[in-house]
Amino acid sequence: MDELLEDLLKKIKNGTYPPGSQLPSGRELADVYDVSQSTISRAVATLREQGVLVGRPGRGVFVAESSRR
């Protein structure tokens, strides 16, 4: 999961997922990274705890506006 976290953070930092943008669905990310959806959920939860991502009920998961890590 560390590689997944590192890659997501890299994509946030390089602008692939800029602040305010919505991440692909858990299913899409699981397909891209060839991991289970539960692994994606754990990674997203970790990044939410760090304040990198924010969840918007009924809308999805977004990069926090202040995410410039």
d(CA 16, CA 3): 17
66 confidence band (pLDDT: 50, 70, 90): confident
pLDDT in the model for residue 69: 45
Q: Confirm whether pTM is higher than 0.75.
A: yes
Q: What is the pLDDT of residues 33-60, one digit of tens each?
A: 999 999 999 999 999 999 999 999 999 9
Q: What is the pLDDT of residues 7-40, one digit of tens each?
A: 999 999 999 999 999 999 999 999 999 999 999 9
The strand pair at 53-56 and 60-63 is best described as: antiparallel
Is 50 exceeded by the pLDDT of residue 61? yes
d(CA 50, CA 14): 18
